[in-house]
């Protein structure tokens, strides 16, 4: 077993867990369930992106994972602000 | 496991994510849930660009999809109503 195949197996397991999280996003009854599922999905996928950069031995494409991990936080923040304002009654 | 099989397994997972999230974004009646499904669709599209060795396009897609469209859709929904109107 080479190290590359080990990384490939780890990345496939990460994608499997991302698929399970996406099922929670699809059937989640309330909005906060879906927001938490989206956040977990982006975190899992950022880890998978780093593993893909290790497998293909290209250090350039690890930057995409960094940019996505920073930007996905903005989306979660906006949805959370919207939900809080809606509960308080401002929106 | 060689790289060829691994690449096709990844393609199958990304295709499942793209189709599932796009159908969900169309079918959801709650607009916030539809916006979240659109965010997941943009994430899967970014991973697809990434796997196909185009990291600059993936960075642009990540910035537009995760940052801009989610915030702009939420601002638009906040200025109108929350539920989809069914006539």
Q: Above 80 in pLDDT, residue A90? A: no
Quote the pLDDT of residue A88.
80
Q: Residue B57 has which token pair?
A: 């396009």
Give me the interface pTM, i.e. the ipTM: 0.87
Which candidate from A11, A45, A74 shows the least CB-CB separation from B71? A74
Helices then strands, counting H and E runs in chain B, come out as 4, 0
User: φ, ψ for residue B81 (rounded to 5)?
Assistant: -110, 170
Q: What is the DSSP track for A38-64?
A: HHHHHHHHHHHHHHHHHHTT-GGGHHH
pLDDT of residue B82 exceeding 80, the answer is no
Residue B87's pLDDT is: 61
Write out residues 12-71 of B within 8 Å (CB-CB) of A: 13, 16-17, 20-21, 24, 30, 32-33, 35-37, 39-40, 43, 46-47, 50-51, 53, 55, 58-59, 62-63, 66-67, 70-71
Cβ distance A68 to B43 less than 8 Å, yes or no, reads yes
Residues of chain B contacting residue A26, judged by C-beta atoms under 8 Å apart:
20, 24
Separation CA A65–CA A7 (nearest Å): 16
Give first-to-last CA distance, chain B, whole Å: 54
Asked if residue B57 has pLDDT above 70, the reply is yes
Find tokens 């189709």 and name the residue: B19
Taking the model in full, what pTM does it have? 0.89
pLDDT tens, A9-28? 898 999 999 999 999 988 87
Residue B19 has pLDDT above 90, yes or no: yes
Provide mean pLDDT across the span A31-44: 90
pLDDT surpassing 70 at residue A81: yes
The average pLDDT across B13-42 equals 89
């Amino acid at each position: 077993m080479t190290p590359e195949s080990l990384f490939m197996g780890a990345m496939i397991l990460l994608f499997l867990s991302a698929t399970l999280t996406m099922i929670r996003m699809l059937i989640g009854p309330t909005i906060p369930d879906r927001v938490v599922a989206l956040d977990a999905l982006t975190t899992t996928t950022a880890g998978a992106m780093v593993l893909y950069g290790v497998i293909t031995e290209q250090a350039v494409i690890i930057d995409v994972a960094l940019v996505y991990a920073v930007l996905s936080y903005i989306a979660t923040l906006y949805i959370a602000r919207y939900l809080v304002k809606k509960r308080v009654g401002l929106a | 496991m060689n790289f060829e099989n691994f690449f096709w397994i990844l393609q199958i997972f990304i295709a499942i994510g793209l189709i599932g999230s796009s159908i969900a974004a169309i079918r959801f009646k709650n607009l916030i849930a539809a916006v979240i499904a659109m965010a997941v669709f943009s994430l899967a599209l970014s991973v697809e660009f990434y796997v196909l060795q185009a990291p600059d396009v993936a960075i642009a897609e990540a910035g537009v999809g995760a940052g801009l469209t989610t915030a702009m859709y939420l601002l638009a929904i906040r200025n109108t109503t929350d539920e989809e109107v069914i006539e």
